[in-house]
Structure 1
Amino acid sequence: MSFAIIGFGKVGQALAHAFARKNIDVIVTSRRPPEALAPQARAIGPTVVAGSLRDALEADTIILAVPFEEHRDVAKALPDWSGKTVIDTMNALLPPEELDGLPSSAFAAKAFAGARFVKGFNHLIAATLAADPVVEGGHRVVFLSSNDEDATAPVAALAKQLGFAPVKLGKLNEGGALVHARGRVWGPLIFQDLFKKEP
């Protein structure tokens, strides 16, 4: 399984730290050329490698960490997203009517034809996401939701590998709505920094 993070702002860098902590290879890319990202990527850890968008699109699992307005530009980079898992970390700070009344992930998923689309890692601020998720015998919770049950399992496995405790919330328009930030309508689980103790 190969991984890439598209977007290297605060959230993209926070997730790159999570990969580096566990020595998991990940390609990072942004609008800036790879050589501009390389020093920052190397400073995070040796398994974090700056690449082009084309390099990132080769990965099996792609984490979307771009501003919501840019998701369509990323989607256009591949004619068919079949076989790819896309993890949506974006929050759309737009009124619901601009999203056709849909949760932001359901709206964004339409642009990624064929992809297994999972909402996750979006409810925490970047500084919290970047911190070690293992605290006092517990693991920081990340919420996952998808309309494709088969897609959630590998993302949950990745979250566990990164040291988080994945909690599945069901479909995007059900449990997923609990973690969506849309305009002034914010889900009740946004910014909830929760831990799950080992049994």
Structure 2
Amino acid sequence: MRIAIIGTGNVGGAVARGLKSKGHYLVLGARDPAGSRVSALAAATGASTALPADAARGADIVVLALPWDAAEAAVAALGDLTGKVVVDCMNPIGRSAGGIGLKVGHSTSGGEIVQGWLPGAHVVKTLNQVGAEIMADTSLLAHAPVMFMAGNDVGAKALVGQMLADLGFDALDAGDITKARLLEPFGMVWINQALMRGKGRMWAFAAVPA
């Protein structure tokens, strides 16, 4: 598959590293595709680089790995993504007096908001439930880590499920895009344990059968 990764920070870089040598054509979409950091990531992962809209144009899957506060403008700049499979791996996190938390929930979700920005695309919420280190390399874990996904299109979820399997995840379908309201708080459980409760970042949830 041709996979465009929009955003080359911790999450985008981890997805690229996890998909290295898995038979996909990877394109890193960045505002400065010739910059030293992006070029180094491309060299390390065998990816090519392009401006975000150019990267998305020819992709089978477009992965959004952006800071939530910058996402709306960045997504709008990608152009027409009608018919594209778009992976939303962003959690709509903000800071308040109470600490880090979700900015939306109950009546909507980040995934639904992204689908609203891209009404003609097939948005799949996933890759938001674990830290970047695990996305880059699942091989050190005792069990295949579970990764839930939510979206309205069955075919899109099947395609994304193949990508998740190549990353080493046990992909489970959570239902339509409204189920992102479950997956985003679930991601916050990982964040709470990893960053606030001292568990660290090198672990993931698993679905262990009887």
TM-score, length basis structure 2: 0.78
CA RMSD of aligned residues (A): 2.7
**What one-letter code is carried by the residue in structure 2 that aligns with 1:152?**
K
- Structure 2 matches for 1:16-31, cutoff 5 A? 16-31=16-31
Q: Which range moves more in the overlay, 142-151 or 110-119?
A: 142-151
Q: Is the 8 A contact 1:2 1:25 kept in 2?
A: yes
Distance 2:17 2:79 in 1: 30
Instruction: Look up the match of 2:172.
Output: 167
Instruction: Look up the match of 2:11.
Output: 11
- Structure 2 matches for 1:62-73, cutoff 5 A? 62-73=62-73
- Structure 2 matches for 1:102-117, cutoff 5 A? 102-117=108-123
Distance 2:28 2:78 in 1: 17
**How many residue pairs are counted as aligned between the two chains?**
190
Distance 1:163 1:187 in 2: 19
Instruction: Look up the match of 1:122.
Output: 128
Q: Is the 8 A contact 1:34 1:52 kept in 2?
A: no
Q: Is the 8 A contact 1:87 1:119 kept in 2?
A: yes
Instruction: Look up the match of 1:82.
Output: 82
Distance 1:53 1:112 in 2: 15
**What one-letter code is carried by the residue in structure 2 that aligns with 1:15?**
V
Instruction: Look up the match of 1:183.
Output: none
Measured at CA, do residues 188 and 119 of structure 1 come closer, stay the same or move farther in structure 2, by a change above 3 Å?
closer
Consecutive unaligned residues in structure 1, runs of 5 or more? 181-185
Instruction: Look up the match of 2:146.
Output: 141
Q: Is the 8 A contact 2:10 2:132 kept in 1?
A: yes
Measured at CA, do residues 78 and 25 of structure 1 come closer, stay the same or move farther in structure 2, by a change above 3 Å?
closer
Distance 1:24 1:198 in 2: 30
